[in-house]
Chains A and B, each alone.
Chain A
Amino acid sequence: MLRIDRATYDAIVAHARKDHPDEACGVVAGPEGSDRPERFIPMLNAARSPTFYEFDSGDLLRLYREMDDRDEWPVVVYHSHTATEAYPSRTDVGYASGPAADPRTHYVLVSTRHHGHETGLVDDEVEFRSFRIVGGEVSEEEVEVVESYLFGHSPTTVVYD
Protein backbone atom coordinates (compact mmCIF):
# COMPACT_ATOMS: atom_id res chain seq x y z
CA MET A 1 0.00 0.00 0.00
CA LEU A 2 1.07 3.55 -0.70
CA ARG A 3 0.28 6.04 2.03
CA ILE A 4 0.65 9.60 0.81
CA ASP A 5 -0.36 12.95 2.22
CA ARG A 6 -2.98 15.14 0.56
CA ALA A 7 -0.58 17.99 -0.31
CA THR A 8 1.83 15.68 -2.14
CA TYR A 9 -1.02 13.91 -3.93
CA ASP A 10 -2.38 17.26 -5.09
CA ALA A 11 1.09 18.45 -6.17
CA ILE A 12 1.57 15.38 -8.38
CA VAL A 13 -1.85 15.88 -9.98
CA ALA A 14 -1.18 19.61 -10.49
CA HIS A 15 2.16 18.88 -12.14
CA ALA A 16 0.53 16.38 -14.51
CA ARG A 17 -2.16 18.91 -15.45
CA LYS A 18 0.35 21.68 -15.98
CA ASP A 19 2.51 19.68 -18.37
CA HIS A 20 -0.41 18.13 -20.26
CA PRO A 21 -0.31 17.13 -23.15
CA ASP A 22 3.32 16.22 -22.42
CA GLU A 23 4.09 13.61 -19.80
CA ALA A 24 5.13 14.95 -16.41
CA CYS A 25 7.52 13.14 -14.07
CA GLY A 26 9.21 13.40 -10.71
CA VAL A 27 9.92 11.69 -7.42
CA VAL A 28 8.83 11.92 -3.82
CA ALA A 29 11.83 11.34 -1.60
CA GLY A 30 11.77 10.00 1.92
CA PRO A 31 14.19 8.75 4.56
CA GLU A 32 16.31 5.96 3.11
CA GLY A 33 14.88 2.56 3.96
CA SER A 34 11.52 4.06 4.89
CA ASP A 35 8.20 3.92 3.11
CA ARG A 36 7.37 7.58 3.75
CA PRO A 37 7.05 9.86 0.71
CA GLU A 38 7.83 13.24 2.29
CA ARG A 39 9.63 15.54 -0.15
CA PHE A 40 7.99 16.29 -3.49
CA ILE A 41 10.53 16.87 -6.28
CA PRO A 42 9.06 17.62 -9.72
CA MET A 43 11.52 16.82 -12.51
CA LEU A 44 11.82 18.09 -16.04
CA ASN A 45 10.76 15.61 -18.70
CA ALA A 46 13.86 15.82 -20.87
CA ALA A 47 11.94 14.15 -23.72
CA ARG A 48 9.18 16.83 -23.60
CA SER A 49 6.90 14.32 -25.21
CA PRO A 50 3.27 13.21 -24.94
CA THR A 51 4.37 9.56 -25.20
CA PHE A 52 7.71 9.34 -23.40
CA TYR A 53 9.42 10.69 -20.32
CA GLU A 54 12.96 10.62 -19.08
CA PHE A 55 15.00 12.35 -16.43
CA ASP A 56 17.87 14.23 -17.99
CA SER A 57 21.08 12.38 -17.19
CA GLY A 58 22.65 15.38 -15.42
CA ASP A 59 19.44 16.10 -13.49
CA LEU A 60 19.34 12.45 -12.40
CA LEU A 61 22.88 12.65 -11.01
CA ARG A 62 22.17 15.89 -9.12
CA LEU A 63 18.91 14.47 -7.76
CA TYR A 64 20.53 11.31 -6.42
CA ARG A 65 23.48 13.22 -4.96
CA GLU A 66 21.12 15.52 -3.14
CA MET A 67 19.05 12.60 -1.82
CA ASP A 68 22.22 10.80 -0.82
CA ASP A 69 23.45 13.83 1.14
CA ARG A 70 20.12 13.92 2.97
CA ASP A 71 20.01 10.13 3.54
CA GLU A 72 16.94 9.88 1.34
CA TRP A 73 15.82 7.61 -1.45
CA PRO A 74 13.02 7.87 -3.99
CA VAL A 75 10.01 6.35 -2.23
CA VAL A 76 7.79 7.28 -5.17
CA VAL A 77 8.63 7.73 -8.84
CA TYR A 78 5.68 9.26 -10.65
CA HIS A 79 4.79 10.11 -14.20
CA SER A 80 1.70 10.89 -16.21
CA HIS A 81 0.09 9.33 -19.21
CA THR A 82 -1.77 11.91 -21.23
CA ALA A 83 -3.76 9.79 -23.71
CA THR A 84 -3.87 6.35 -22.10
CA GLU A 85 -4.86 4.83 -18.77
CA ALA A 86 -2.83 5.19 -15.58
CA TYR A 87 -1.20 1.78 -15.92
CA PRO A 88 2.50 1.01 -16.51
CA SER A 89 3.37 0.54 -20.17
CA ARG A 90 5.85 -2.03 -21.45
CA THR A 91 8.48 0.68 -21.58
CA ASP A 92 7.70 1.70 -18.00
CA VAL A 93 8.02 -1.90 -16.86
CA GLY A 94 11.30 -2.30 -18.74
CA TYR A 95 12.96 0.62 -17.01
CA ALA A 96 11.45 -0.20 -13.62
CA SER A 97 12.84 -3.73 -13.93
CA GLY A 98 16.33 -2.53 -14.81
CA PRO A 99 19.22 -4.03 -12.83
CA ALA A 100 19.83 -0.87 -10.77
CA ALA A 101 16.16 0.03 -10.20
CA ASP A 102 14.99 -0.65 -6.66
CA PRO A 103 11.87 -2.87 -6.52
CA ARG A 104 10.89 -1.18 -3.25
CA THR A 105 9.95 1.94 -5.24
CA HIS A 106 6.26 2.84 -5.57
CA TYR A 107 5.49 3.72 -9.18
CA VAL A 108 2.67 6.24 -9.31
CA LEU A 109 0.85 6.71 -12.60
CA VAL A 110 -1.61 9.49 -13.20
CA SER A 111 -3.65 9.91 -16.34
CA THR A 112 -4.86 13.24 -17.64
CA ARG A 113 -6.56 11.68 -20.68
CA HIS A 114 -10.04 12.81 -19.61
CA HIS A 115 -9.12 15.78 -17.48
CA GLY A 116 -6.13 17.48 -19.02
CA HIS A 117 -6.43 20.89 -17.47
CA GLU A 118 -8.46 22.00 -14.48
CA THR A 119 -12.12 22.19 -15.45
CA GLY A 120 -13.50 23.42 -12.15
CA LEU A 121 -16.25 20.80 -12.41
CA VAL A 122 -17.20 18.50 -9.58
CA ASP A 123 -15.54 15.08 -9.98
CA ASP A 124 -12.75 16.55 -12.04
CA GLU A 125 -10.24 14.07 -10.70
CA VAL A 126 -7.38 12.69 -12.70
CA GLU A 127 -6.73 8.96 -12.38
CA PHE A 128 -4.12 8.28 -9.69
CA ARG A 129 -2.84 4.74 -9.20
CA SER A 130 0.19 3.12 -7.62
CA PHE A 131 2.11 0.00 -8.57
CA ARG A 132 4.98 -2.21 -7.59
CA ILE A 133 7.07 -3.46 -10.46
CA VAL A 134 9.31 -6.41 -9.65
CA GLY A 135 11.17 -8.38 -12.30
CA GLY A 136 8.76 -7.38 -15.03
CA GLU A 137 5.66 -8.16 -12.96
CA VAL A 138 3.21 -5.34 -12.24
CA SER A 139 0.99 -5.38 -9.18
CA GLU A 140 -1.34 -2.57 -8.31
CA GLU A 141 -1.53 -1.45 -4.70
CA GLU A 142 -4.00 0.50 -2.64
CA VAL A 143 -3.46 4.25 -2.26
CA GLU A 144 -4.35 5.77 1.07
CA VAL A 145 -4.43 9.57 1.15
CA VAL A 146 -3.87 10.99 4.61
CA GLU A 147 -4.43 14.64 5.42
CA SER A 148 -1.07 15.09 7.07
CA TYR A 149 1.63 12.53 6.75
CA LEU A 150 3.13 13.27 10.12
CA PHE A 151 -0.06 12.73 12.09
CA GLY A 152 -1.47 10.04 9.86
CA HIS A 153 1.55 7.87 10.36
CA SER A 154 1.99 5.17 12.92
CA PRO A 155 3.58 6.74 16.01
CA THR A 156 5.80 3.71 16.48
CA THR A 157 8.21 5.16 13.92
CA VAL A 158 8.58 8.47 15.72
CA VAL A 159 11.97 8.71 17.37
CA TYR A 160 12.17 10.64 20.59
CA ASP A 161 15.57 11.90 21.65
Chain B
Amino acid sequence: MAIEVRIPTILRTHTGGNKTVEGSGATLGALVDDLDSKHPGLKNRLVTEEGKLHRFVNVYVNDEDVRFTGALDTEVKDGDSVTILPAVAGGC
Protein backbone atom coordinates (compact mmCIF):
# COMPACT_ATOMS: atom_id res chain seq x y z
CA MET B 1 0.00 0.00 0.00
CA ALA B 2 1.24 3.45 -0.79
CA ILE B 3 0.05 7.01 -1.21
CA GLU B 4 -1.38 7.79 -4.62
CA VAL B 5 -0.49 11.20 -6.03
CA ARG B 6 -2.30 12.85 -8.93
CA ILE B 7 0.01 14.95 -11.06
CA PRO B 8 -1.17 17.99 -13.07
CA THR B 9 -0.65 17.81 -16.85
CA ILE B 10 2.35 20.13 -17.04
CA LEU B 11 4.26 18.27 -14.31
CA ARG B 12 3.85 14.91 -16.04
CA THR B 13 7.08 15.72 -17.87
CA HIS B 14 8.68 14.63 -14.59
CA THR B 15 6.70 11.40 -14.29
CA GLY B 16 7.15 9.95 -17.76
CA GLY B 17 3.69 11.16 -18.73
CA ASN B 18 1.97 9.33 -15.86
CA LYS B 19 -1.17 10.88 -14.41
CA THR B 20 -0.68 9.28 -11.04
CA VAL B 21 2.40 8.11 -9.20
CA GLU B 22 2.93 6.45 -5.84
CA GLY B 23 5.07 7.48 -2.95
CA SER B 24 5.49 7.18 0.78
CA GLY B 25 6.22 9.33 3.81
CA ALA B 26 4.74 10.33 7.14
CA THR B 27 4.17 13.94 6.13
CA LEU B 28 3.47 15.71 2.87
CA GLY B 29 7.01 17.12 2.97
CA ALA B 30 8.49 13.63 3.30
CA LEU B 31 6.24 12.39 0.51
CA VAL B 32 7.45 15.18 -1.77
CA ASP B 33 11.07 14.23 -0.98
CA ASP B 34 10.30 10.61 -1.80
CA LEU B 35 8.60 11.59 -5.05
CA ASP B 36 11.55 13.80 -5.99
CA SER B 37 13.96 10.89 -5.55
CA LYS B 38 11.96 8.93 -8.14
CA HIS B 39 10.95 11.86 -10.33
CA PRO B 40 13.77 14.40 -10.12
CA GLY B 41 12.73 18.03 -10.42
CA LEU B 42 9.26 17.59 -9.01
CA LYS B 43 10.10 19.10 -5.63
CA ASN B 44 11.47 22.25 -7.24
CA ARG B 45 8.13 22.85 -8.88
CA LEU B 46 6.15 22.48 -5.66
CA VAL B 47 8.34 23.85 -2.90
CA THR B 48 10.00 27.29 -2.83
CA GLU B 49 13.64 27.95 -1.89
CA GLU B 50 12.40 28.92 1.56
CA GLY B 51 10.96 25.42 1.95
CA LYS B 52 7.33 26.49 1.68
CA LEU B 53 4.64 25.16 -0.58
CA HIS B 54 4.46 27.32 -3.71
CA ARG B 55 1.56 29.76 -3.39
CA PHE B 56 0.30 29.15 -6.92
CA VAL B 57 -0.06 25.42 -6.27
CA ASN B 58 -2.93 23.73 -4.44
CA VAL B 59 -2.31 20.38 -2.75
CA TYR B 60 -5.04 18.22 -1.27
CA VAL B 61 -4.83 15.19 0.97
CA ASN B 62 -8.00 13.30 0.17
CA ASP B 63 -10.50 16.22 0.08
CA GLU B 64 -8.63 18.61 2.34
CA ASP B 65 -6.63 21.57 1.07
CA VAL B 66 -3.34 21.29 2.97
CA ARG B 67 -3.19 25.05 3.42
CA PHE B 68 -5.67 24.47 6.24
CA THR B 69 -4.04 21.35 7.69
CA GLY B 70 -0.40 22.33 8.16
CA ALA B 71 0.90 22.57 4.58
CA LEU B 72 4.05 20.42 4.18
CA ASP B 73 3.71 19.21 7.78
CA THR B 74 0.34 17.64 7.02
CA GLU B 75 0.36 14.01 8.09
CA VAL B 76 -0.22 11.42 5.39
CA LYS B 77 -0.56 7.65 5.49
CA ASP B 78 -0.82 4.67 3.20
CA GLY B 79 -4.06 4.67 1.30
CA ASP B 80 -4.34 8.46 1.20
CA SER B 81 -4.87 10.18 -2.10
CA VAL B 82 -2.93 13.37 -2.78
CA THR B 83 -3.91 15.75 -5.59
CA ILE B 84 -1.71 18.55 -6.94
CA LEU B 85 -3.43 21.32 -8.91
CA PRO B 86 -2.62 24.77 -10.24
CA ALA B 87 -4.37 27.52 -8.24
CA VAL B 88 -6.72 29.43 -10.53
CA ALA B 89 -7.05 33.10 -9.64
CA GLY B 90 -6.18 36.58 -10.79
CA GLY B 91 -7.45 40.10 -10.84
CA CYS B 92 -7.28 43.37 -12.64
Determine if B63 is an interface residue (Cβ-Cβ < 8 Å). Answer: yes
| Cα separation A100 to B8 with both chains bound (whole Å) | 6
22 sampled A-B residue pairs with Cβ under 8 A: A27-B88, A51-B92, A53-B90, A54-B88, A57-B65, A60-B87, A60-B88, A61-B65, A61-B85, A68-B19, A89-B91, A91-B92, A95-B56, A95-B89, A98-B56, A99-B54, A100-B8, A100-B56, A100-B58, A100-B84, A100-B86, A101-B10
Instruction: Kindly list 4 other residue pairs between chains A and B, CB separation below 8 angstroms, not including A23-B91, A57-B65.
Output: A55-B88, A61-B58, A84-B92, A99-B44
B9's nearest neighbour on chain A, judged by CB, is: A102
Q: A100-B11, A100-B84 are in contact. Are A57 and B46 (CB under 8 A)?
A: no
- Which residues of B sit under 8 angstroms from A32, Cβ to Cβ? 9
Which residue from A23, A55, A65 sits with its C-beta under 8 Å from B92?
A23
**Could you mark each residue 18-61 of chain A with 1 if its beta carbon is under 8 Å from any beta carbon of chain B, else 0?**
00000101010000100000000000000101011111011011
* A4 contacts B by Cβ under 8 Å: no
The answer to whether A58 and B63 touch (CB under 8 A), given A51-B92, A99-B45, is: yes
B63–A61 touching, CB < 8 Å: yes
User: Does B57 lie within 8 Å of A89, measured CB to CB?
Assistant: no
Given A57-B58, A58-B65: A102 touches B92 (CB 8 Å cut-off): no
Main secondary structure of the interface of B (DSSP, over half): mixed
Given that A58-B63, A61-B63 are contacting pairs, would A100 and B90 also be in contact in the complex, using a CB cutoff of 8 Å?
no
Asked if A101 meets B56 with Cβ closer than 8 Å, knowing A52-B90, A58-B63, A79-B90, the reply is yes
CA A113 to CA B29, docked complex, whole Å: 44
Categorize the interface residue count of chain B.
Answer: 20 to 34
Whether the pair A68, B89 counts as a contact (CB closer than 8 A) is no
A82 proximal to B (CB < 8 A)? yes
A32 to B19, CA, bound (A): 12
CA distance A38 to B66 in the complex (A): 32
Chain B 38-65 interface residues, beta-carbon cutoff 8 Å to A = 44-46, 54, 56-58, 60, 63, 65
Q: Which of A57, A82, A96, A104 contacts B90 (CB 8 A)?
A: A96
Q: Which residues of B contact A61 (CB under 8 A)?
A: 58, 60, 63, 65, 83, 85
Chain B residues in 8 Å Cβ range of A92: 90-91
Nearest-CB distance from A70 to chain B (Å)? Answer: 13
* Cβ-defined contact, A102 with B10, below 8 A: yes
Tell me whether A64 and B46 are in contact in the complex, defined as CB-CB below 8 angstroms, given that A99-B57, A101-B56 are known contacts: no
